[in-house]
Structure 1
């Protein structure tokens, strides 16, 4: 729950930032100074990029959480226990030990969103956050396609 609150606070702060920057951008765009107009254009582009990045991350988080709850309800979460540090992060060696099982499951059936999600959890436990996010994104995409195709 604290993660959701943190995300909500950051989203509100970013929205406030975008509104304030948009106001400044308008003031610069309506000035007669060419440098001010150029800065105004820049101030419009940067918040658009920030809003896109915020939306992408929120959509990822919502999708990942939804699939995690669904997989848990179906009893499909990994059953192996991985030792964690006091911070809550898994010990890398334990994560690497269970990783081949989930990698092989995706190799057997690359269309299974559940296998992709579990692979993302295994990557995360092994300390590879970038690949973990990629695998979970793939799980979200495949589950969405499976839902659309019926």
Structure 2
């Protein structure tokens, strides 16, 4: 199963659970009892948070893909330059070397979204997913700022 298939499957499950929670919340509120009303209102809040999180994740994925397509069209998409073990795992020293180079590039060009996109890929290759996500979010913000300056 690809990650995209898994994402859509889990998104569907999340939306199904949200619909069920809202339905149960309506029934609890309809009891007219104070406790039922309180729990029923909570049954609205929890799915709303889940749907908000799903929306943010989709927006992040689309923006990341847009940047990747643009970078690929420019010929600047990072290629897999990592050394691997005989078992196919990424060699840690190789990932650290690529990461150090990408970090230096990003520090040298703090306003370049391309450098931060490549840094995000290097973070991901090094196994640091939270920092990879932050670097990609920064690249997206830089690109959006560039778009707004170019439009205005």
TM-score by length of 2: 0.89
Tell me the residue number matched to 1:78. Answer: 78
Distance 2:47 2:86 in 1: 37
Question: Which consecutive unaligned segments of at least 5 residues does structure 2 have?
Answer: none
Shift of 1:40: 0.5
Tell me the residue number matched to 1:5. Answer: 5
Question: Which consecutive unaligned segments of at least 5 residues does structure 1 have?
Answer: none
Shift of 1:26: 0.7
Determine helix, strand or coil for the equivalent of 1:149. Answer: helix
Structure 1, 70-79 or 139-148: larger mean CA deviation:
70-79
Tell me the residue number matched to 1:62. Answer: 62
Tell me the residue number matched to 1:148. Answer: 148
Contact 1:116–1:135, Cα closer than 8 Å, also in 2: yes
Tell me the residue number matched to 1:35. Answer: 35
Q: What is the RMSD of the two structures over their aligned residues, measured on CA atoms?
A: 2.1
TM-score by length of 1: 0.90
Distance 1:20 1:105 in 2: 49
Tell me the residue number matched to 1:49. Answer: 49
Counting matched residue pairs gives: 150
Indicate how the Cα distance of structure 1 residues 94 and 34 shifts in structure 2: closer, same or farther if over 3 A, else same.
same
Distance 2:74 2:124 in 1: 21
